[in-house]
Amino acid sequence: MKRWLSLFVLLLPGILQAQSSQFHTVPGQARSMVVSKFGIVSTPQFLASQAGAHILEQGGNAIDAAIAANAVMGVVQPYVNGIGGDLFMLYFDAKTGKLYGLNSSGWTPKALTIEALKDQGISSIDPIGVNTIDVPGAVAGWDAMRSRFGTMPFSKLLAPAIYYASNGFPLAERNARYWIAKRLIDQPGYRQTYVLWPNPPQPGDLFRNPALANSLRQIAARGRDAYYNGPMTETMVNFLRSQGGLHTLEDFRDFQPEWVEPVSTTYHGWTIYELPPNGQGIAALSMLNIMEHFPLAQYGHNSVNALHVMIEAKKLAYADMYRYVGDPRFTPIPVQQLISKQLADQRAQLIHMDKASCQVVPSQIETELDKHGNSTIYLSAIDKDGNIVSLIQSNYAGYGTGMVAPGLGFSFQNRGAGFQLTPGLPNSLDGHKRPLHTIIPAFMEKGDIRIGFGIMGGWNQAQAHAQFVSNIVDFHMNVQSALEQPRFTKETFAGCDVMMEETIPADVRAGLAARGHQIQLLEPLSFTVGQGAAVVRDTTRKVNFAAGDPRSDGAAIPQEPATP
């Protein structure tokens, strides 16, 4: 007994260091984590984070704060999200310890089929055309969240967004940089809604959207019915049909989000959760399963070997995801096989440490998905009780289609651009079907630590999740440092091309190039590798932590305590 006690005493400092390493500042870390006994909201825009924190101060919980923050995001960053888009969420209920998943991705018009397009002589989908506009799911998602777990009425939750839309707000730095989408200038309603200045906007220029304020007021008063079963619905359907769409009032009225069971895998003792298909989340889990076969921690962070393994694992995981994932209501999807350790055993053997693979299996993948859809927001919220929301919301491409119905103030998504027009595939176009989605929230836990996290950016997301998890697990970074680290991204499915931030050392890039990787350099803190956020709950100490990505205008903002 004494021998074991002595050994434990010798090992105790290392054990404590490993447990507490999630909270240590890493050398070179630019920002500190936000730490509080109260709630924290982290979004890509500080006004949205502040709105969510204010809801917490008024007595709301993490669900309430997330809805309020998301609504403000749709006002202040309409080029990446809004009520014309879709929503996915993971919610950790601290009282029960249960994790809930919400899929509020919209479906196509019932009449929109491959045959219907063929009858019109259409053989490919215009990426910003009306046929890419599925029924938007964001408002229905808010309603589902609020009805099941929220505590406040929409009138209170949407008040900050209504204020900013009605009274205006000055553009932040990245706001001004990404605001104008020149390719959408001639889309119906785009110029009138978003281009308010004779010259490109500058930081500090004021933007107002009174039409969006009115739309939000209707939702605040009537809830989801205002959007899916009322005068606003009629306006949307009439507009979409005038553009050649096949949308009907019934397509909107009958739409419902779906509560789903999250799927998970383990990675070196941590459990990582994603949402099941029709999203790409299983690719992150598959990628982690493959990475687990290699000693990344021994290789070193962002070393040649570590990056080589992750890039190769990405190709293999995404190949399977693209081959099998679609809407599970239409096509059986072998989810458990795709995220199994057994499959990862086989896939890991395909990685050659001395050479990049430019062709990946399954071999029947001969085409690439469209690469234009990377405009998304991710936010996370945690309240004083430890409830966590991990939420992602998107228009798909910037402003989606850029189409704005008269008087409504928001653009419609183009999520349907991801469908395939070849019959019989998991992601083939069909009526009332949801496309293969890129947007994914995530959650991870081990022992007394819970982390809600996500990183936006089209097909960047699953691979960015895997890199974030590796930073936490393999290299013992805290969440802020894990977000700040240079990342790679590969938007294509085949080939040896890969993009990475130029802050990855030159000698490492040279080593990767020697193995056949064709590297395209990105600026430091590039939008291309996504913007993320994370919140952490230490359940033993009942302390919350949060991180914000320096690639955004965002911030993690804590709730202030009530004072006399």
Q: What proportions of the chain, in percent to the nearest 5, are helix, strand and coil?
A: 40, 20, 45
DSSP code of residue 538: E
- In whole angstroms, give the CA distance from residue 303 to residue 533: 24
- In whole angstroms, give the CA distance from residue 15 to residue 251: 56
**Of residues 376, 401, 489, 528, which has the active-site annotation?**
376
Angle at 165 between CA 106 and CA 183, to 5 degrees: 60
Contacts of 525 (CB under 8 A, 6+ apart): 501, 550, 551
- In whole angstroms, give the CA distance from residue 15 to residue 228: 54
* Residue 512 identity: L
CB 252 within 8 A of CB 282: no
Tell me the three state secondary structure of residue 25: coil
CA count, 13 A, side-chain hemisphere, 358? 9
**Chain centroid to CA 48:** 16
The token pair that represents 484 in the structure block: 């700040």
Q: Decide if 108 is catalytic.
A: no
| Cis omega (within 30 of 0) for bond into 362 | yes
Between strands 98-104 and 86-93, the pairing is antiparallel
Query: What residues act catalytically?
Result: 376
